């Protein structure tokens, strides 16, 4: 009797072991990798190049420019809104010659924009690595004018340069190419206060206004 009981217990143990082996094993799924949203906060520096042309101003100019910028962005964690400031300056080669004829005398007026700069605020909205923004602030421009009068073999000339100060407004888009690098495109409209050129000449000189439309592309390095 005792042997039968031992044998029965052994069979039950084997059956339990076999049933456990037949049960499906649980599978472990690793959590999906977390892709952090790009954060635009911090200091950046960069370079840009572009083309500009005058609007309805007295100084008729068009041409290219190249320069650099430095700025800072503030973005709260988890927020798509970004506030920033940017200072830029550019060397310019923007000018256009105008001629006028009076009898045998030909007068040529040559305005040339030498350099420009702005100090602007920026309000931006970002979708991860893509940021669009509105911008506006202070603008300045150094411009020179040369006037030459030619009559036969005789030529007389004079020149003057002035700093114009005004305002700028525009918009742009920027895309983060890598954690520390971004590329941008921007449009600005700038308008400047009038300045008087050649004031020591009779009739009070030339009181001229200036404005400009500019398109530029640039690249920034972000310190992170």
Q: Does some domain include residue 113?
A: yes
As a whole number, mean pLDDT of residues 118-136 equals 97
Give the chain's mean pLDDT: 82
Phi, psi values for residue 41, rounded to 5°: -65, 145
**CA dist list (Å): 11 to 5, 7, 119:** 10, 6, 89
Q: Does some domain include residue 114?
A: yes
Q: Does some domain include residue 173?
A: yes
Q: Does some domain include residue 3?
A: no
Confidence class for position 8, pLDDT limits 50, 70, 90:
very low
Lowest mean pLDDT among 12-16, 107-111, 220-224: 12-16
Domains identified in the chain, total number? 1
Q: What is the model's pLDDT at position 146?
A: 81
Q: Does some domain include residue 159?
A: yes
Q: Which domain holds residue 85?
A: 46-222
Q: Does some domain include residue 25?
A: no
Confidence class for position 15, pLDDT limits 50, 70, 90:
very low
Confidence class for position 151, pLDDT limits 50, 70, 90:
low
As a whole number, mean pLDDT of residues 175-196 equals 95
The CATH number linked to 208 is 2.40.160.20
* Tokens standing for residue 23: 């049960």
Confidence class for position 29, pLDDT limits 50, 70, 90:
low
Residue for token pair 């052994």: 10
Query: Across 95-104, 118-127, 142-151, which has the greatest mean pLDDT?
Result: 118-127
As a whole number, mean pLDDT of residues 76-94 equals 94
Q: What is the model's pLDDT at position 100?
A: 56
Q: Does some domain include residue 36?
A: no
pTM: 0.76
Q: Does some domain include residue 177?
A: yes
Per-residue pLDDT for 76 more than 80? yes
Name 144's Cβ contacts closer than 8 Å, sequence gap at least 6: 111, 112, 114, 159, 160, 161, 162
């Amino acid at each position: 009797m005792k042997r039968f009981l031992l044998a029965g217990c052994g069979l039950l143990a084997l059956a339990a072991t076999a049933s456990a082996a037949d049960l499906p094993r649980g599978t472990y799924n690793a959590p999906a990798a977390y892709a952090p949203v790009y954060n635009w906060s911090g200091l950046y520096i960069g370079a840009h190049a572009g083309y500009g042309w005058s609007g309805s101003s007295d100084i008729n100019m068009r041409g290219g420019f190249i320069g650099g910028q430095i700025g800072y962005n503030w973005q709260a964690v988890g927020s798509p809104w970004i506030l920033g400031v940017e200072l830029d300056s550019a060397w310019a080669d923007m000018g256009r010659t105008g001629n006028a004829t009076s009898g045998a005398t030909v007068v040529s007026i040559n305005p040339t924009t030498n350099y420009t700069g702005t100090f602007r605020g920026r309000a931006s909205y970002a979708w991860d690595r893509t940021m669009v923004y509105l911008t506006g602030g202070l603008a300045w421009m150094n411009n020179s004018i040369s006037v030459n009068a030619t009559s036969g073999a005789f030529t007389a000339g004079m020149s003057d340069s002035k700093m114009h100060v005004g305002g700028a407004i525009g918009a742009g888009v920027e895309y983060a190419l890598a954690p520390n690098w971004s590329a941008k495109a921007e449009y600005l409209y700038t308008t400047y206060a009038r300045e008087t050129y050649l004031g020591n000449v009779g009739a009070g000189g030339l009181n001229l206004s200036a404005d400009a439309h500019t398109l530029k592309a640039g690249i920034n390095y972000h310190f992170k």
